Chains A and B, each alone.
Chain A
Amino acid sequence: MYDDAVGLHAARLIRPRITAFADVLESSASGLDLLELTEGYPCALILDALTLDYPPGTIVVFGLDDFRLPSSVSPHWLSISDAWDTARILGLPVADEIIGLGMQVTDTGWIREGLNPEVQEGLTRFASEAVGIVEFLVNNRWSSKEGLGRYAPKIPLCG
């Protein structure tokens, strides 16, 4: 609710644009439950709100290694990296590759409808960047191992 729903808003915008070659799923799951949704797919792009120190509207690409934590504090906090490592060790057919695309938001502590104006303003860009990544992945057979080009990890794309 409010800015932490920016990923859902973006997903709804991009769905009609990539439906021919990608499934767009909506979820508020995390950790292992989120990864279960990727089963059977070669690659997954996760769109979500970002709560780091970038200016609102900044868009950042993440890889799994960017989510690694030294310890797990709560099931709510099981990092997606730990979950992915666990899934792979257990032989679960989760996606080979997980890419995160986040937009810096202003506040995820309030329950409200809609988005903060700065986040709303950046939503179209967020969706476009997501489409760009999907198109890149399609052209590279669902692997970013050749490099994402300008989508270098943890470098802000725009904002």
Chain B
Amino acid sequence: METPAARPKNRIVIDPITRLEGHGKIDIFLDDLGNVEKAWYQIPELRGFEVFSLGRPAEDMPQITSRICGVCPTAHHMAATKALDDLYDIEPPPTAIKLRRLIYNAFMLEDHALHVYILGGPDFIVGPDAPKEHRNVLGVIGKVGLETGKRVIAMRRQLRELISHLGGKVIHPVFGLPGGVAKGLAVEELPRFREVAKEGLEFARFTLQVFKDIVLKNDNYVKLIASDTFTHRTYYMGQVDTNNLVDFYDGTIRVVAPDGKEYAKFAPQNYLDYIAEHVEPWSYVKFCYLKPLGWNGFVEGGNSSVYSVAPLARLNASDGMATPEAQEAREEFYEVLGGRPVHHTLANHWARVIEMIQAAESMNELLADPEITGPCIRSIPTSKPNVGVGIVEAPRGTLFHHYETNEQGLLTKVNLIVATQNNSARIAMSVDKAAKGLIHHGQVNDGLLNMIEMAFRAYDPCNACATHALPGQMPLLINLHDHQGALIKKISR
């Protein structure tokens, strides 16, 4: 829908009319030649959560925070559970850790599959130049075939059934407890779980082949991935194990610089020494940056303090994948794209597929471990609560949960940094760069707008985590302003 704005022609604004909250908004400012001077992308921020949480029992947080997002509730649930482990200073028994890892890897596989085929698919399976009416999930099915479409849905359903079996519910699991989990895995349930895990690995392998056949064999798309329009040289953050391998569930946080060298490595409890938030007057979202470097603006390269999270960042911040086939896929990834680190934002899609393989391999490894059906699934906390930090790698990036309580376990302070917030500065830079590279002389069309959207779609931003209001989605609005700042075009998507 286009709403022509009153002249003079100065400014193009994309905004859901008077409501900023809960909507993605892009403002594009043109210079007097009609080229992009600056583009701002605003991500809606969840408000009031910290206040809402105060005075509540910390043990409620795995249930409360899983309701922040209907797409990644398991990530919040797991981060909250780990924060409770830390709060009560309790170490779960090995079986519980393995069960948590099993559920978490099932979730990562399922969520990544959803993104690859439904979100990212229209961009790289159908292609950015495809007609608008084909750039959707139906276009993806048209390209990969009905049987593949059915396979995606069936795989997701099976994985969600596994999560539901152990977690009670998929959308709002009731699985994690401080010191362990609520339900164990019975020996008689193993065959079913192993069957799904095996199919999951086959599916992940298949997805990588689809990606290679449709994307990597398409020279135009490979050029697009490597183009400067979609490239930023920033820092990268991800969670790694003791060998610096990608670990979705637990580990230390590692940051590498734009040149790939390790910049920092820290325990979750020390995150505030490394992450700070910057506020811009034009945005209601805070931009995360590396605190020791200070805020240097939306810049990249040597002077940057901006970092990125999510699949590409996880691969860049690590020295390898934790499972053999994923490692092999990773090696090919870096060989094709010129070595580590890779700065091409659209490579997130490829990295995501590699992570699907690790998630599936990990599931198979865990289910082959006899300890997974062990009887001891919880250690009972005995310490008085104080401060707890829990971090997981959500599909969209590093997720931080930080709780402080009184001695009765009632919350006195809550801080959450969701994955998309970690990426907010880089997303803003991506939109700005894409707009500058694509819009010239004030000419804007649907194809160009789609290319700009590709710049932030690769991050899979979680813009509407808290809401599921009708018509079922949060619209993205684009405002175009001329060189005097006047609104000249308004486009809602």
Question: Hey, which bits of chain A sit against chain B, CB under 8 A?
Answer: 1, 4, 27-33, 36, 46, 48-53, 62, 66-67, 69-80, 82-83, 85-87, 89-92, 100, 102, 105, 107-113
Give the residues in chain B near A76, CB-CB below 8 Å: 69-71, 462-465, 473-474
In the A-B complex, the 8 residue pairs with the smallest Cβ-Cβ separation, listed nearest first, are A109-B21, A102-B470, A77-B473, A49-B469, A108-B467, A110-B48, A48-B470, A111-B52
Q: A28-B171, A82-B138, A90-B149 are in contact. Are A112 and B52 (CB under 8 A)?
A: yes
Pick the contact of A108: B21, B71, B475 (CB < 8 A).
B21
Q: Once the chains bind, are A71 and B70 in contact (CB under 8 Å)? A: no
Chain B 60-75, CB-CB to A under 8 Å as 1, else 0, gives 0000000101110000
7 contacts between A and B (CB under 8 A): A29-B70, A30-B71, A50-B471, A51-B19, A71-B135, A90-B153, A109-B466
CB distance from B447 to the nearest CB of A (A): 11
B150 is an interface residue with CB less than 8 A from chain A: yes
Q: A48-B470, A113-B52 are in contact. Are A107 and B463 (CB under 8 A)?
A: no
Give the residues in chain A near B141, CB-CB below 8 Å: 86, 89-90
Q: Which of B115-140 contact A (CB under 8 A)?
A: 115, 118-119, 122, 132, 135-138
Give the residues in chain B near A111, CB-CB below 8 Å: 46-49, 52, 466
Give the residues in chain B near A107, CB-CB below 8 Å: 21
Give the residues in chain A near B336, CB-CB below 8 Å: none
Give B446's nearest chain A residue, CB to CB. A70
CB distance from A36 to the nearest CB of B (A): 7
CB distance from A116 to the nearest CB of B (A): 13
Q: Which of B476-492 contact A (CB under 8 A)?
A: 476
B9 is an interface residue with CB less than 8 A from chain A: no
* Assembly CA distance A59 to B465 (angstroms): 24
Q: Once the chains bind, are B114 and A108 in contact (CB under 8 Å)? A: no
Give the residues in chain A near B450, CB-CB below 8 Å: 71
* Assembly CA distance A32 to B118 (angstroms): 10
Q: Once the chains bind, are B471 and A100 in contact (CB under 8 Å)? A: yes
CB distance from B415 to the nearest CB of A (A): 14
CB distance from A62 to the nearest CB of B (A): 6
Give the residues in chain A near B470, CB-CB below 8 Å: 46, 48-51, 62, 67, 100, 102
Give B18's nearest chain A residue, CB to CB. A53
* Assembly CA distance A86 to B136 (angstroms): 10
Question: Hey, which bits of chain B sit against chain A, CB under 8 A?
Answer: 17-19, 21-22, 24, 44-49, 52, 67, 69-71, 114-115, 118-119, 122, 132, 135-138, 141, 146, 149-150, 153, 156-157, 160, 170-172, 446, 450, 453, 457, 460-476, 493
Known pairs A32-B153, A51-B22, A108-B21. 8 more at Cβ < 8 A? A4-B467, A27-B171, A28-B70, A73-B24, A76-B474, A83-B137, A90-B153, A109-B467
CB distance from B350 to the nearest CB of A (A): 18
Q: Once the chains bind, are A74 and B17 in contact (CB under 8 Å)? A: no
Give the residues in chain A near B71, CB-CB below 8 Å: 30, 75-76
* Assembly CA distance A78 to B122 (angstroms): 12
* Assembly CA distance A29 to B47 (angstroms): 21
Give A105's nearest chain B residue, CB to CB. B469
Pick the contact of B476: A27, A73, A83 (CB < 8 A).
A73
Pick the contact of B467: A36, A49, A66, A70 (CB < 8 A).
A49
Q: Once the chains bind, are A109 and B22 in contact (CB under 8 Å)? A: yes
* Assembly CA distance A74 to B9 (angstroms): 31
Pick the contact of B472: A80, A108, A113 (CB < 8 A).
A80
Q: A67-B472, A72-B137 are in contact. Are A4 and B466 (CB under 8 A)?
A: yes
Pick the contact of A89: B44, B115, B122, B138 (CB < 8 A).
B138
Pick the contact of A29: B22, B136, B171, B462 (CB < 8 A).
B171
Give the residues in chain A near B24, CB-CB below 8 Å: 73
CB distance from A91 to the nearest CB of B (A): 7
Give A50's nearest chain B residue, CB to CB. B470
Pick the contact of A85: B46, B138, B172, B462 (CB < 8 A).
B138
